[in-house]
A and B are shown apart, each in its own frame.
Chain A
Amino acid sequence: MNLFVFLAIAAAMVLIQFVVTRWVKLNRLAWMGIWWVALWAAFSYGINPPLPNSIILLFMAIITIALVAYLSADNEELKQAQDSIVRFMVARQYRVALLIVLFAIPAAVAAWTYVSMNEAPQPPSSGRTIHPPPPSSITFEGTAIDLTTANNPIRELQHTDEAAFAEHVANGRRIYFENCFYCHGDNMQGAGMFAHGYDPLPANFNDATTIAMLQESYLFWRIAKGAPGLPSESTPWSSAMPAWEDFLTQEEIWDVIIFLYEFTGFEPRAQGMPH
């Protein structure tokens, strides 16, 4: 959040409410416009890191609908608003202002076109499916693994044999820093030294919506099969995640999974739990 921007917007609103209204009477239409601009400014500049455009669009659409509903929920106010628009368009005293508005609209479109043509080309945004449904079973080095029932065999040790469990965690740590941290980063935020080169970005395991909401068997699938194993719905861009079945053994993958959870402090999703 960018507190400064919020304060500035709030201050401007207060100013309008208590000072500007002494000279000009503002009807509901004017207030609508003011609120619209204020909220747009808050969403666009007040939040850090900035919201993606698609979200600002969604929010502003909702707000526009709400404001229009408010304006038209009262017959009097609606009439006043309509009258003021008509007055602006026909009254002599507004002629200059009207001309300015008439020119400003196409000018704004032109400016917007110019600016957007000059932006560096970017791949289009995509609603990629990050967590596609897993297949019900996969083969790992020739043996079939049923993903709906597979459990991490190391998990049991957590309560039965703490020393052995710690050993597996240590092994997982070794595997992680030998293989994964280049992309997923040393603190698992997906910001490793290679990360800037990839689209989509390597997963951020600290985020509540990655490993925290997945079952361990799901992770096993994603690590073993990598991006090449993603179903087509995760396209158009398959990720850079390698298929680790060619480099790691089954146990090593389970070990590194344990380490991911130990390091981030998340619990894996239990088997058979609703979403």
Chain B
Amino acid sequence: MLTIDRRSWLLRLPLGILVLVLVALCSEPVWAAPQEADPEYRALPFISSRVLMWAVAELHLMFAAFVLAVPIFALVIEFIGYKTGDKRYDQLAYDFTKLLSVSFSFTATLGALLTFALIVFYPALTQYLVKIFSWTFLPYVLLFFLEAFFLYAYYYGWGKLSPRLHLFLGLMLNIVGTAIMFIANAWLTFMNTPNGIDEMGNLTNIWEAINNYIWMPINIHRIIANVAFGGAIGAAYGAFKFLGAKTLEARAHYDWMGYIGIFVAICALLPLPFAGYWLGVEIYAYDQSLGITLMGGTFSWLFIVQAVLIGNLFLAANYYLWLSMARIPGAERFRGFIKYLLGIITLCFIVWATPHSLVATVEEARAMGGSHHPILNVLGVMSAKNTAVNLLILTTYVSFLLYRRANKEAIVSWAKTGNWVQFGIFAAVVIYVVFLGVYGYFVDAQTRIGLSRPQVMSVLFAMVSVTVIDIFLFKNAKSRGEIVWGKISARSQYALFFLAITFTWLMGLMGYVRAGMRQHWHVYGVMRDTSVDAFTPTLGFAGGVVSAIVIVFFLLIAIVFFLAGLSGRKDWEPKSGSRWVRAKASAPTEDS
């Protein structure tokens, strides 16, 4: 069943949790032996209860992800400000943090809604999960209160507490938030890969139930994905403020905010495929059927959609960097490179998005001699995809490198040699990565899977070594002029919106995959879904629901942006001569 998209068991509102805890601890007998009359499911009049659960859970998860992510990089940025003494960083960190308090309330409200919906619509399942996990609720509630405390202390204490104490609060906020997520992840991953129970589904070992096959992979995957998502939403906020900015300073500041936000997002995006890979491997290891459902069956089409979206992410990120060069004097020198970078990106994008099995008519299939195209087949396999994604990462890095050195001219004596060494490293790594990719076609599957590791390591090596050289190369470099923040076209800001929306969509889509792969099970292999909704919806329907959720999320986020923007406004003053003023002025006479 897809209903309780348990992705989002992050039950947030203390009230909601109290209900659960009370249920678990006090009314144990009632729940342990439900009367026969107790329904297993309840339905809604207009919308299936599954779709409602799905939407609420996903929205809750998105806000939770945001609330967990922002403190991570806000803290880092604040720390940079503290170390360098640059006030702008402190201001930036505060700007991000401003988004937190409203989002936190939204998360909590949605969490409460999720809890209630679970209890009302899926009482039997809820009861089962409560029975298994009753132990985890107490620490969860305690942590939740701590989270609220640290979050508000961090927010309201800005500039009021000593920097060290404030940083400490931020650190605690992150630790507590992560712990909360880990607990909630245990509940939902248990539904995918249940563990620590006997044949009858009774709990035998709570730790095994928590530490099930995909608990750790999901934990790691989510931390990284949250940062990417949070960065993108933060960048969208920057873009939103940029487009509405009235002064040059505001434009400059929010341009910078958007840049930092998307920088954070892209940095987090890069390791994400590898975390996802680990998750996939664990799913296979738990149950091959589950693995094939995920990667080979109906759901594999969603991975094609995912590939297209990720390709778009890379393209948009590069596009943003290229447009960003407009704000740097001297960047004209690098304009000519853009078309080659774009060529490589497009090529990799095409390889990355080429599906393994194709949608074809019989006639087309006949012409191809089967359901697979002999040439496309070469692109559809793992070796090609890994090579493509590694080159995408490397190209994006080159765009960034050009951006970084746009206004700099190296003055060190070995500048020429340094450039050649950097170029040599790139060339060598590209050749090596492509070589491994091609070599992958000639070896057995086990070896091939092993090849993805040296590919990744060599790309990492290139990025690190070239960066190190770059730092020394441009030490005390001659500057062609300062970066003019705010001098950038509006298009770049729309690219930021595009990135934020794409990230969100991706999250909704893959969340559905994780939830949906259990098919007609609530708890895979243990508790069957016997409701009327125990079927896998069509891809089109699922895509529609996910898109609707994304739209609702952005409506809510718009509210968050609006409210966060209020704090920066000037105090309200009546416009002279406005009717309101006159009314007010005449009010006393009426009163008297």
Contact = CB atoms under 8 A, between A and B. Distances in A.
Given A270-B446, A275-B291, A122 B361 contact: yes
B289 A134 contact: yes
A132 B315 contact: no
A70 B362 contact: no
B361 A52 contact: yes
A127 B359 contact: yes
A52 B375 CA distance: 12
Contacts of A129: 296-298, 300
Contact of B446 (A126, A132, A207, A273): A273
A252 interface: no
B367 A50 contact: yes
A144 interface: no
Name the residue among A51, A70, A133, A272 with the largest chain B CB count within 10 angstroms.
A133
- Taking chain A's interface residues, is the majority helix, strand, or loop, or is none over half, making it mixed? loop
A273 B449 CA distance: 10
B312 interface: yes
B38 interface: no
Contacts of B339: 70
B412 interface: no
Contacts of A58: 308, 353-354
Interface in A7-56: 47, 49-55
Interface in A250-275: 267, 269-270, 272-275
B165 interface: no
A199 B362 contact: yes
B319 A213 contact: no
Contacts of B300: 129
B491 A275 contact: no
A125 B361 contact: yes
Interface stretch (A61-69, A106-114, A154-162, A164-172): A61-69
A208 interface: yes
A77 to B, nearest CB: 10
B285 A62 contact: no
B503 interface: no
B492 to A, nearest CB: 10
A238 to B, nearest CB: 14
Contact of B315 (A49, A66, A269): A66
Interface string A55-87: 100110011011001101111000000000000
A73 B292 CA distance: 41
Given A52-B368, A55-B354, A204-B372, A136 B295 contact: no
A62 B353 contact: yes
A196 B444 CA distance: 33
Given A52-B368, A59-B350, A213-B445, A73 B319 contact: yes
Size band of the A side of the interface? 35 or more
Contacts of A69: 315-316, 319, 342
B366 interface: yes
Contacts of A66: 315, 342, 345-346, 349
Contacts of A130: 357, 371
B516 to A, nearest CB: 12
Contacts of A213: 445
A201 B358 contact: no
A183 interface: no
Given A47-B375, A72-B491, A275 B360 contact: no
A256 B377 CA distance: 26
A191 B368 CA distance: 11
A26 to B, nearest CB: 15
Contacts of A267: 444
Nearest to B449: A274
Interface string A117-146: 000001111111111111110000000000
A55 B376 contact: yes
B311 interface: yes
B101 interface: no
Given A63-B346, A201-B370, A275 B296 contact: yes
B362 A274 contact: no
B285 A272 contact: yes
A274 B375 contact: no
Interface string B325-363: 010000000010011001001100110011111111111
B83 to A, nearest CB: 35
B105 interface: no
A1 interface: yes
Nearest to A136: B289
B323 interface: yes
Given A75-B326, A132-B297, A209 B369 contact: no
Contact of B377 (A62, A209, A273, A274): A209
A274 B292 contact: no
Nearest to A233: B298
A274 B358 contact: no
A188 to B, nearest CB: 11
Contacts of B296: 129, 131-133, 275
Contacts of A201: 362, 365-366, 370-371
Contacts of A47: 375
B364 A53 contact: yes
B446 A49 contact: no
Nearest to A123: B362
A237 to B, nearest CB: 9
Contacts of A127: 301, 357, 359
A47 B323 CA distance: 35
B445 A49 contact: no
Contact of B292 (A65, A128, A132, A200): A132
Contacts of A70: 338-339, 342
A58 B281 CA distance: 29
Given A69-B319, A207-B377, A133 B292 contact: yes
Interface string B468-488: 000000000000000000000
A125 B370 contact: no
B359 A209 contact: no
A136 B323 CA distance: 53
A40 B354 CA distance: 16
Contacts of A152: none
Contacts of A132: 292, 296-297
A266 B332 CA distance: 54
A196 B367 CA distance: 11
B374 interface: yes
Interface in A177-232: 189-191, 196, 199-201, 203-204, 207-209, 213, 215
Contacts of B465: none
A62 B346 contact: yes
Given A58-B353, A196-B366, A275 B311 contact: no
10 nearest CB pairs, A to B: A52-B360, A133-B292, A204-B370, A54-B359, A66-B346, A52-B364, A199-B362, A125-B361, A274-B281, A133-B293
28 contacts: A49-B373, A54-B359, A54-B360, A55-B354, A58-B308, A59-B350, A62-B308, A65-B312, A66-B346, A69-B319, A122-B363, A123-B362, A125-B361, A127-B359, A128-B357, A129-B297, A133-B296, A189-B369, A199-B362, A200-B371, A204-B370, A207-B370, A208-B377, A213-B445, A267-B444, A274-B291, A275-B284, A275-B295
